[in-house]
Structure 1
Amino acid sequence: MISALASADAQIWLAILVKTVAYLATLVAAGSVVIYLTLGALTEQGRSSLRRIAAVAALAAAGLSLLRIPLRASFLMGGTVEGAVDPMMLRIVAESPLGASVIVRLGGLALILAVFLPGRGARWVALAGALVTCASFALRGHTLGEPRLLLGALVTVHAIGLAFWIGAFAPLTRAVRCDPPAVAGALVHEFGAKALWVVATLVAAGALTLVLLGAATPAALATPYGQAFLIKLGLFAGVLALAGLNKTRLTPALQAAAPDAARRLRRSIGMESVLVLAVLATTAALTTLTSPPSEQARSASQTTPTHDSAIHVSGDLSWPS
């Protein structure tokens, strides 16, 4: 994995960067809506801030998702600028799984904007948009293998859980910085209680996905894909460690209005957000540079490529959503 990154050209690095930021903006948009509807301890100021965050993130995610289409077209044309604007190549990409994923994601992001509309019905429309947005991740990449429906469902559940976690960072930080300790403490406590279920779901979905992709064996973990997965696992373990510290020590200290509790909790949440960003970047690199063992075995069974054609096969596998 490290050697692949070291030898990657500028286009691959650009793909990883765009994909990372697109992941982040998409999950923030969806997660802001989920947090808006699930955390009852949010103040009206917190809800207003979340609506703005959801809108800005949705617009950013839409632009970044659309950008991936000309980037893919350019890749197919050897990394040329002409390829990025070639009508035929753009049509090919738009009709590919990547194009389908982007179209569904744009629809979900548009529905998220209903969070600004009055009425309870508008909130459910926004929630539907958040779920559709998360489901768009299941239309591309390794979920196209079998069992397709189960893999798609697992990826969707995983995206929803991650969106919940990422969507909470901004409102929790705002509450700890601006609200009285009792109010902020109640919000952080509520998030921590619900996050326990989210963590359990994330772990279960991730473990089952790993098994289905054939990446749960010692031999598979020695591959570049397995190594990248272990990096992700280590980063996520760091997130969980910080979350445990927040729940058992820093949140009770904030609720008790202990000196310096708010500052320490803000710092811990900031460290969590950095680790989660690293998880997203690792995921972007992993899906750009390698593929699960099950996909590699399937490709090998279908054809025995020459050196040149192997490059093209690897490149095609390097652009999941």
Structure 2
Amino acid sequence: MSDWVSIALRFGLYVDLMVLFGLGLFGLYSLAGRERVSGAVLPFRSILLVTATFGVLLSVASMLTMVSAMSGESEFTELRPHVQMMVFETDFGLAWSVRVVVLVMAGLMLMVNHRLPGASLLVASICGAIALASLAWSGHGAMDEGSRRYWHFAMDILHLLAAGAWLGALVAFALMAKINALKTAERIRLLARAVSRFEGVGAVIVVVITVTGVVNYLFIVGPKLDDLLLSTYGILLFIKVGLFAGMLVLAALNRFHLGPFLERSLREGKYEVAANALRRSMVVELTLAVLIVGLVAWLGTLSPEMEAAAQ
């Protein structure tokens, strides 16, 4: 049961912090001026405040769950010295502390979104990036040593940030493509512009995710497949790769067909069919992304080496 609680908390943290970073970043590169004010296009303040708050709560719950599992204690008074030791005497605790601090900073800055929309999104995305990067210290890279450890951390962080940028953009597109949000040609035009601006960002994201994913695989497993195919880790990894391939197909469909189709439909004044098709594609892509994050949360609790040794 504790393993599933740990996986659920990891999943919640991944999704939460990816949305905080990715949605804030989306507002910076896809929107301009007063479009960044919460409610003008997207409810930035409410969503990002919720993610910052839940990020703190999930971090606290994750720390208590992990310390309880390691110490065997369940009462808070008995857990307290173990928590203090973890927070003040380990690299994981330092990363955890930094995460909590930057999440509080992000929440405070979002309170002034209506007066400083661009600055609030910039600070929220930077804080979200730092918080998301801190999750690398609970991954496989923390088990490495020497220079290998730092290279593994670097790849983990780049992988997390790229994934966060993609998930945040998908959440933004799903919200912008809601039926009640596409009542005017102006809103359709704004969505088409956002899709167009994401093209370059999306290409960079795909390259970074692919390269860092391959490098991380080599760090964790090495250049071998025979034993991996029979392990839980290997099965989950191949499912993840298959879902990622599906996302790439949908991304290509959006980039080369549905996006241009929407722009042509706008010029012709009949955009309902194109908007609905793009909406369905975005929802499916977002669903695949959430499933992948769930698999990542599960994979982070598994060790290919231990599974191989047990067989």
Same fold per superposition (TM over 0.5): yes
Task: Provide structure 1 residue ranges, at least 5 long, that are not aligned to the other structure.
Answer: 1-9, 301-309, 311-321
1:133 is aligned to 2:134: no
Moved more, 81-90 or 22-31: 81-90
2:178 pairs with 1:187: no
Is 1:19 aligned to 2:21, yes or no? no
Change in Cα spacing, 1:140 to 1:97, as seen in structure 2 (3 Å) is farther
How far has the Cα of 1:67 moved from its partner?
Answer: 0.4
Contact kept in structure 2, 1:221 and 1:230, CA below 8 Å:
no
Residue 235 of structure 1, aligned match among 239, 243, 252: 243
* Letter of the structure 1 residue corresponding to residue 193 of structure 2: A
Is the 8 Å Cα contact of residues 42 and 176 (structure 2) preserved in structure 1? no
Tell me the CA shift for residue 92 of structure 1.
3.7
Which residue, 233, 248, 261 being the options, matches 1:225? 233
CA pair 203-84 structure 1, distance change in 2 beyond 3 A: farther
Aligned residue in 2 for 1:101: 95
How far is 1:32 from its partner? Answer: 1.7
Say if 1:62 and 1:106, in contact at 8 Å, map to a contact too: yes
* Matched residue, 1:61: 55
1:291 matches 2:291: no
Residues 1:86 and 2:79 aligned together: yes
Task: Kindly provide the CA deviation profile for residues 172-226 of structure 1, in whole angstroms up to 9, marking residues without a partner as x.
Answer: 1232232432221111121133201110111111111212223431135323322
What does residue 268 of structure 2 align with? none
Give the residue type in structure 2 aligned to 1:185. Answer: A
The residue matched to 1:216 in structure 2 has which SS? Answer: coil
1:52 pairs with one of 43, 46, 50: 46
Letter of the 1:208 partner, please give it: V
Structure 1 vs Structure 2: percent identity of aligned residues? 25
Kindly state the Cα deviation for residue 243 of structure 1 after the two structures are TM-superposed.
Answer: 1.2
CA shift in 2, pair 1:124/1:183, >3 Å: closer
Which residue of the other structure, out of 191, 210, 214, is the alignment partner of 2:217? Answer: 210
1:300-319 counterparts in 2 under 5 A? none
Which residue of structure 1 aligns with residue 292 of structure 2? 279
Corresponding residue number in structure 2 for 1:264: 277
Query: What is residue 155 of structure 2 aligned with on the other side?
Result: 154
RMSD: 2.7
Cα pair distance change 1:58/1:273, threshold 3 Å: same
Residues 226-249 of structure 1 show CA distances to partners (whole Å, capped at 9, x for unaligned) of: 222212111111111111111122
Q: Does the 8 Å CA contact 1:93/1:99 hold for their aligned counterparts? A: yes
**Distance of 2:60 and 2:91 partners within structure 1:** 14
Q: Contact 1:29–1:109 (CA<8 Å) still a contact in 2?
A: no
8 A Cα contact 1:76 1:83, kept in partner: no
Instruction: Give the Cα–Cα distance (whole angstroms) in 2 for the partners of residues 231 and 83 of structure 1.
Output: 39
**What CA distance in whole angstroms lies between the structure 1 residues aligned with 2:242 and 2:50?**
31
TM-score by length of 2: 0.82
Q: Contact 2:21 / 2:126 at 8 angstroms: preserved in 1?
A: no
Which runs of 5 or more residues in structure 2 are unaligned? 266-270
How many residue pairs end up in the alignment?
287
2:77 and 2:209 mapped to 1: Cα distance?
36
1:127/1:25 CA distance change after superposition, 3 Å: closer
Task: Note if contact 1:50-1:171 (Cα within 8 Å) is conserved in structure 2.
Answer: no
Counterpart residue type for residue 242 of structure 1: L
C-alpha distance in structure 1 between counterparts of 2:233 and 2:93, whole Å: 25
Question: Residue type of the partner of 1:159?
Answer: L
SS of the counterpart of 1:251? helix
Measure, in 2, the Cα distance between the counterparts of 1:272 and 1:20: 18
